[in-house]
Structures are given as structure tokens and as C-alpha cells.
Amino acid sequence: MQKQFEDLLKKIQKNKIDPIGFGLYARAYQYEQFKKMDNDWGKAFAESDIHVSVKVKVNSDGAVRSVYKNWQWKIVKTLHFL
């Protein structure tokens, strides 16, 4: 997952676009520095060194497990009656 995010960032930097909103964040929290490069944010963003750290937390296995349990139960039930 980390590699996928890094590849995505390289791609958007190469195209000098900011669909994620780094510019909005920079303007809101680092306004003085952002103001210096506001006229050419795409170029500044493309030249930026961005480090990615991915942290994933699974809160629930959701419906997939429920479907699996139901499927497994149906197989056991079917085999029981054979």
C-alpha cells in the first residue's frame, strides 16, 4: 500500500496537479511559505519532497465475514442432510 501511495504522488507531481489538496493545507497552516510560491504552486508541488507513511487499522471485517459464515453454514447443513 505504501508503494501505491508513493507511485500516486509521483504521478500527480509529474503532472503538476494537486487533487489531494496539499495546497489548501499549506495555505491554511503554512501561509507565509505558501504565499511565496502561490503563483506557481504546481511547479513548487512537483519539486517537493513528500514522504509517505501508511498506517492501516481494520475496525471490522464487515459483511464479507458474515457472508462467509452463512456460506459455510449452508455447506455444512447441506452435507449434513446428504
Question: Could you read off the pLDDT of 22-79 as tens digits, one per residue?
Answer: 899 889 998 998 888 878 888 998 998 888 888 888 777 666 555 555 555 554 444 4
Give the pLDDT confidence score for residue 1 in this predicted structure.
Answer: 83
CA–CA separation, 4 and 50 (whole Å): 14
The CA distance from 77 to 82, in Å, is 9
Angle at 11 between CA 57 and CA 44, to 5 degrees: 100
Position 67 scores a pLDDT of: 57
Residue with the bigger pLDDT between 60 and 5: it is: 5
Instruction: Please give the residue that has the higher pLDDT: either 17 or 73.
Output: 17
Give, as one character, the DSSP assignment of residue 71. Answer: H
Do the beta carbons of residue 48 and residue 13 sit within 8 Å?
Answer: yes
67: left (phi over 0), alpha (psi -120 to 50) or beta: alpha
pTM, entire model: 0.61
Residue-level pLDDT at 70: 54
Grid coordinates representing 33 are 511559505
Would you state the pLDDT for residue 37? 86
Sign of CA dihedral 33, 24, 54, 45: negative
